Homo-oligomer: A and B are copies of this chain.
Amino acid sequence: MTVQKPRAVCLLSGGLDSATALYVALKEGYEALALTIDYGQIHGRELKSARRIASHLAIEHRVISASLPWGGSALLDRSIPIPHGRSVAEMSQEIPVTYVPARNTIFLSLAASYAEARAAEAIFIGANALDYSGYPDCRPEFFKLFEATIQKGTRQGAEGRKLEIKTPLIDLKKSEIVRLAIGLGVPLEWTWSCYQGDQFPCGECDSCLLREKGFAEAGVRDPLTSHLTSARSAGGTVGS
């Protein structure tokens, strides 16, 4: 008898955290359906990473557009400078300008719709509450409330079936995420974290600095930067 695997929608931005959360879902025995949202982010480069990882895993992958023309974030509006060179203490002082209004609520809503249409039982999101750059929509209480909301506002919930929001990285330090990713075989050289979205990571934005700190504390070289550095010195094309 073939036992059907339970399904999970995995939000995959293309970054280190979302890729790791996706590999956790697979490790836990889920059939993963990856979902990537093109919301008009300046670092659209991450979409390419998401496609590459999903294609490598040969899993169902949807990339959908939901652009947010009202801006309100340095990740959407080029006239707002992306902070650079900040210490983690500085990053944590206030909600940064890279916060995108209601982004995780939008992502989870779209994931809930996909999950319901495909009879999935869980949504995986790589949110992290420790090295989290101060985003309010990365807090555990937020995810708990969202889960209760969709339980009330979907057919799935009304009919008594549960849709669980899983945040396997929520309590991990970045260095622990790096170690977990390595243990699971995440292709770290294909993940993309930089907010600037150029051919090479800027090394200066909050996201690059948190990633660098994570690898340093884990005592591991970041294969993305070493890969890019060697490609750069060889004058080759990167990441294609």
Interface set of A (CB-CB < 8 Å, partner B): 62, 64-73, 95, 99-106, 108-110, 112-118, 136-137, 139, 141-142, 145-146, 148-150, 152-155, 157-159
A153 to B135, CA, bound (A): 8
Given the complex, which residues of B lie within 8 Å of A110, measured CB to CB? 66, 68, 102, 106
Contact B72–A101 (Cβ < 8 Å): no
Contact B103–A106 (Cβ < 8 Å): no
Given the complex, which residues of B lie within 8 Å of A149, measured CB to CB? 105, 142, 145-146, 148-149
A109 to B113, CA, bound (A): 13
8 inter-chain pairs at a CB distance below 8 angstroms, sorted by A residue, are A64-B67, A68-B110, A70-B113, A95-B155, A95-B159, A137-B153, A145-B148, A145-B149
Contact A109–B118 (Cβ < 8 Å): no
Contact B152–A136 (Cβ < 8 Å): yes
Closest to A68 in B: B113
Contact B148–A136 (Cβ < 8 Å): no
- Copies of this chain per assembly: 2
Question: From residue A165, how far is it (CB to closest CB) to chain B in Å?
Answer: 11
Contact A102–B64 (Cβ < 8 Å): no
Question: From residue A74, how far is it (CB to closest CB) to chain B in Å?
Answer: 12
Given the complex, which residues of B lie within 8 Å of A145, measured CB to CB? 145, 148-149, 152-153
Given the complex, which residues of B lie within 8 Å of A95, measured CB to CB? 155, 158-159
Given the complex, which residues of B lie within 8 Å of A100, measured CB to CB? 113
Most chain B CB within 10 A, of A71, A114, A152, is at A152
Closest 5 CB pairs of A and B: A72-B117, A101-B116, A142-B153, A102-B113, A137-B153
A115 to B70, CA, bound (A): 9
Known interface pairs A101-B117, A154-B102; A62-B69 also in contact (CB < 8 Å): yes
Closest to A35 in B: B70
Contact B117–A139 (Cβ < 8 Å): no
Most chain B CB within 10 A, of A73, A106, A154, is at A154
Contact A158–B146 (Cβ < 8 Å): no
Closest to A104 in B: B153
Contact B153–A139 (Cβ < 8 Å): yes
